[in-house]
């Protein structure tokens, strides 16, 4: 597990600035006024800070942007990083500013001087999330995330009270990022299940269902996906019971640890990225860890289906007909549309077993959602406006892009099969929508439900606001906020 660096919050001590060895960062508003810490640095550097603040370069900086003053005279620091950030900047701007500070950290000790910044805790969260680096397999490891961080504030008490929350969020996001980043020869279905079993140390009840039990339950579509793999298919159930006798919210995740496409094999170019096809299960796992760490006053059950989709003499074929746990039959047209076959069984299981108050599934389900929304937004499909709007509000508050997509009977009719109750694909048009329509067939009447297609946001090729390129951990923050706002007593 990549361990997040949790800042130490301290009261501002301007006498400690001159002798601090490492990097010093401070915020200055667009008006250019210097707070006591900035004035001390300006005196130490013989007016260099003031000259920079009055320069055209500072004037052109946007809120949350940062610039370095390297090897400042009169200070032991290797650099002073000036962050343009108004004292009453928004929470989103403050979080982005924290990420900007983290990008320049380079493994050195860091002193951050925030004075009386309104959203200092958000800056700390952005900084912590951005220090993530998955370098377990590099012989010469990057040190971006190493070195202690001290954040000095005029009144640090409120931030100190939320250190536990900050740590819980960061550990949940980092857990998801680690899972998504791991290669498939390491994160097998067995290893994935073992890592989730370790959540029992935090008070999560974890049950691992093996293939014989899945067969008895009738999860034949899930099992069919993994028939070509040497790794056994598993379903892992995680229960967090912090809300008394209330019915739980169900989070359901697709956990395809590697997806070749099966017999409908994918092109070789880019196939290495299919280690991230367990991203939905990764987010569910990260949320469950965050809830346990912060002792959430809610009941939440996470159900993830862990399989590997490989071509083999035993693998399912195009044209096969399989029976779901619900009892419906599916004609498999394309074995690369396997995620919905995993999800339909575990969605039905979650409803039958736990009778939840609502259900949210997450999956790197379709390339079509990337065509529609790019890498900026996840696709949100829902049968319940109140739940969907609540999630969209939570995602917006956390800066995690999400966009509501349509459902409708015309799309559902594209799934009609001549041989079975349905096909597993509806053709190229509206591919992400027909995938959602397939899943909707396994949602019970009156069950509030959201399907999140995260194929475009789980793994990205450029930095995001609070993550380096690679696994983002998208969804952990938004779902945690949704649970806190809507389901905690």
Indicate which residues carry an active-site annotation: 266, 340
Backbone conformation region of residue 64, classed left if phi is above 0, alpha if psi is from -120 to 50, else beta: left
Which residue in 472, 287, 484, 229 sits closest to 364, CA to CA? Answer: 472
Buried b (16+ CB within 10 A) or exposed e, 282-303: bbbbbbbbbbbbbebebbbbbb
Strand partners, 83: 27, 66
> CA angle, corner 120, sides to 114 and 125, nearest 5?
120
CB 178, CB 134: distance < 8 Å: yes
Q: How do beta strands 234-241 and 205-209 pair?
A: antiparallel
Residues 6+ apart with CB under 8 A from 151: 7, 8, 9, 10, 112, 114, 120, 123, 124, 159
Q: For 290, what's the count of Cα atoms within 13 Å in the CB-facing half-sphere? A: 28
Give the chain's end-to-end CA distance (angstroms, integer): 31
Work out the number of other CB atoms within 10 angstroms of the CB of residue 479: 29
Q: Please give the Cα distance from 439 to 448 (Å, whole number).
A: 13
């Amino acid at each position: 597990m990549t361990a997040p660096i949790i800042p130490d919050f301290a009261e501002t001590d301007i006498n400690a600035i001159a002798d601090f060895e490492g990097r010093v960062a401070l915020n200055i508003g667009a008006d250019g006024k210097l707070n006591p810490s900035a004035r001390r640095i300006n005196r130490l550097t013989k007016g260099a800070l003031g000259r920079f603040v009055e320069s055209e370069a500072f004037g052109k900086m946007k809120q949350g942007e940062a610039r370095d003053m390297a090897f400042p005279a009169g200070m032991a620091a290797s650099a002073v990083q000036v962050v343009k950030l108004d004292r009453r900047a928004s929470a989103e701007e403050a979080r982005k500013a924290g990420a900007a500070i983290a990008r320049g950290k380079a493994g050195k000790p860091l002193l951050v001087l925030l004075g009386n910044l309104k959203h200092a805790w958000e800056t700390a969260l952005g900084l912590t999330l951005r220090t993530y680096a998955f370098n377990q397999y590099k012989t010469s490891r990057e040190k971006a995330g190493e070195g202690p961080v001290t954040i000095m504030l005029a009144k640090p008490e409120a931030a100190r009270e939320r250190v536990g929350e900050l740590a819980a969020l960061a550990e949940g996001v980092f857990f998801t990022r680690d899972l998504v980043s791991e290669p498939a020869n390491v994160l097998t279905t067995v290893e994935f299940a073992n890592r989730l079993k370790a959540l029992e140390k935090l008070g999560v009840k974890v049950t691992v269902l093996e293939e014989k039990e899945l067969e008895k339950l009738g999860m034949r579509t899930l099992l069919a996906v993994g028939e070509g793999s040497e790794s056994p298919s598993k379903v892992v159930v995680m229960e967090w019971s912090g809300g008394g006798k209330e019915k739980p919210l169900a989070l359901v995740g697709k956990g395809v640890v590697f997806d070749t496409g099966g017999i409908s094999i994918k092109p070789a170019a880019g196939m290495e990225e299919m280690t991230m096809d367990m991203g939905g299960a990764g987010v569910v796992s990260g949320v469950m860890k965050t809830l346990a760490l912060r002792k959430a006053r809610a009941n939440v059950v996470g159900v993830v289906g862990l399989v590997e989709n490989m071509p083999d003499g035993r693998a399912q074929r195009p044209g096969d007909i399989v029976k779901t746990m619900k009892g419906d039959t599916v004609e498999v047209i394309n074995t690369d549309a396997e995620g919905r076959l995993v999800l339909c069984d575990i969605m039905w299981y979650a409803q039958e077993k736990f009778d939840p108050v609502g259900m949210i599934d997450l999956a790197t389900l379709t390339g079509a959602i990337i065509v529609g929304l790019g890498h900026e937004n996840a696709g949100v499909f829902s049968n319940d406006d109140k739940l969907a709007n609540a999630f969209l509000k939570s995602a917006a508050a956390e800066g995690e892009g999400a966009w509501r997509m349509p459902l409708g009977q015309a799309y559902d009719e594209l799934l009609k099969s001549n041989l079975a109750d349905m096909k597993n694909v509806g053709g190229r048009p509206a591919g992400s929508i027909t995938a959602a329509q397939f899943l909707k067939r396994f949602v019970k009447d009156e069950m509030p439900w959201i399907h999140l297609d995260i194929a475009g946001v789980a793994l990205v090729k450029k930095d995001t606001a609070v993550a380096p390129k690679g696994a983002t951990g998208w969804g952990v923050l938004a779902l945690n906020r949704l649970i806190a706002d809507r389901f905690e007593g």
